Structure 1
Amino acid sequence: MGQTNELAHRMACKTIKLVDATGNPLAGKNITLKQINHEFLFGCGIFDVIELANKNGSSSDRLAYLEDKLNKFLDVFNFGTLPFYWGGFEPERGKPQTKELLTAAQWLKERNIEVKGHPLCWHTETAPWLLDLSNKEILDAQFARIERELTDFKGIIDMWDVINEVVIMPIFDKYDNGITRIAKDLGRVGIVKEMFAKAREINPNSTLLINDFNTSVNYEILIDGCLQAGVPIDAIGIQSHQHQGYWGREKLEEVLDRFSHFGLPLHFSENTLTSGHLMPPEIEDLNDYQVEDWPSTPEFEERQAREVEEMYSILFKHPQVEAITAWTFSDDGAWLGAPAGFLREDNSPKPAYDVLNKLINDDWNTTITCQTDADGMVTFDGFLGEYELICDNKKVNFKIEKNQETEQKLTI
Structure 2
Amino acid sequence: MTEISEIRRHRAADATVTVTRDGEPLAGHEVELHQVRHRFLFGCTGFEFIDYANGESEDPERDGRAVELWEGLFNFATLPFYWGRFEPERGKPDTHRLLGAARWLADRGHTVKGHPLTWHTVTADWLLDLDNAEIARVQTDRIRREMSDFAGVIDMWDVINEVVIMPIFAQYDNGITRLCREIGRIPMVRMVFDAAREANPGAVLLLNDFDMSAAYECLIEGLLEAGVRIDALGLQSHMHQGYWGEEKTLSILERFSRYGLPIHFTETTILSGHLMPPEIVDLNDYQIDRWPTTPEGEECQADEIERHYRTLLSHPSVEAITYWGMGDGGWLGAPGGFVRADGTPKPSYERLHRLVNEEWGTPPTKAVTDAEGRLRFNGFLGDYRLTWQDRTAEFAIEATGDQRLDVGLR
TM-score > 0.5 by shorter chain: yes
After superposition, the C-alpha distances for 1:308-342 in whole angstroms (9 at most, x for unaligned) are 000000100100000000001111x4111101010
Q: Is the 8 A contact 1:16 1:410 kept in 2?
A: no
**Hey, what does 2:346 align to over in structure 1?**
350
CA gap 1:6/1:72 in 2 versus in 1, 3 angstroms:
closer
Q: Which moved more, 1:78-87 or 1:26-35?
A: 26-35
Matches within 5 A, 1:4-403: 4-21=5-22, 23-56=23-56, 58-59=57-58, 62-331=59-328, 333-367=329-363, 368-402=365-399
- How far the C-alpha of 1:7 sits from its partner, in A, is 2.2
* Secondary structure at 2:326 match in 1: coil
- Residue identity over aligned pairs, in percent, reads 54
Q: Is the 8 A contact 2:16 2:405 kept in 1?
A: yes
Which amino acid in 1 is paired with 2:19? L
Q: Is the 8 A contact 1:237 1:268 kept in 2?
A: yes
Which amino acid in 2 is paired with 1:385? G
Root-mean-square deviation over aligned CA pairs: 1.3
Using the alignment, how far apart are the partners of 2:211 and 2:403 within structure 1? 41
- How far the C-alpha of 1:6 sits from its partner, in A, is 4.3
After superposition, the C-alpha distances for 1:90-140 in whole angstroms (9 at most, x for unaligned) are 000000000000000011001111000000000000000000001111000
Using the alignment, how far apart are the partners of 2:6 and 2:136 within structure 1? 50
After superposition, the C-alpha distances for 1:290-314 in whole angstroms (9 at most, x for unaligned) are 1111001110000000000000001
Runs of at least 4 residues off by over 4 Å: none
- How far the C-alpha of 1:405 sits from its partner, in A, is 5.5
* Secondary structure at 1:7 match in 2: helix
- How far the C-alpha of 1:396 sits from its partner, in A, is 1.9
- How far the C-alpha of 1:378 sits from its partner, in A, is 1.1
Question: Which of 395, 405, 408 is equivalent to 1:407?
Answer: 405
Using the alignment, how far apart are the partners of 1:46 and 1:275 within structure 2? 21
- How far the C-alpha of 1:381 sits from its partner, in A, is 1.5
Give unpaired runs (5+ residues) of structure 1: none
Using the alignment, how far apart are the partners of 1:307 and 1:202 within structure 2? 40
Using the alignment, how far apart are the partners of 2:187 and 2:377 within structure 1? 49
Which amino acid in 1 is paired with 2:355? L
Using the alignment, how far apart are the partners of 1:190 and 1:299 within structure 2? 48
Using the alignment, how far apart are the partners of 1:389 and 1:215 within structure 2? 43
CA gap 1:362/1:405 in 2 versus in 1, 3 angstroms:
closer
Q: Which moved more, 1:372-381 or 1:231-240?
A: 372-381
Using the alignment, how far apart are the partners of 1:402 and 1:347 within structure 2? 37
Using the alignment, how far apart are the partners of 2:72 and 2:408 within structure 1? 27
- How far the C-alpha of 1:4 sits from its partner, in A, is 3.2
After superposition, the C-alpha distances for 1:167-217 in whole angstroms (9 at most, x for unaligned) are 000000111000001101111111011111110111000000000000000
Using the alignment, how far apart are the partners of 2:345 and 2:212 within structure 1? 31
- How far the C-alpha of 1:394 sits from its partner, in A, is 2.9
Q: Is the 8 A contact 2:392 2:409 kept in 1?
A: no
Using the alignment, how far apart are the partners of 1:348 and 1:195 within structure 2? 41
Using the alignment, how far apart are the partners of 2:19 and 2:196 within structure 1? 43
Using the alignment, how far apart are the partners of 2:391 and 2:407 within structure 1? 16
CA gap 1:6/1:53 in 2 versus in 1, 3 angstroms:
closer
* Secondary structure at 2:103 match in 1: helix
Using the alignment, how far apart are the partners of 1:27 and 1:7 within structure 2? 29
Q: Is the 8 A contact 2:13 2:403 kept in 1?
A: no
Under a length normalisation based on structure 1, what TM-score does the superposition of the two structures give?
0.97
- How far the C-alpha of 1:5 sits from its partner, in A, is 4.9
- How far the C-alpha of 1:17 sits from its partner, in A, is 1.6
Which amino acid in 1 is paired with 2:372? D
Give unpaired runs (5+ residues) of structure 2: none
Q: Is the 8 A contact 2:120 2:175 kept in 1?
A: yes
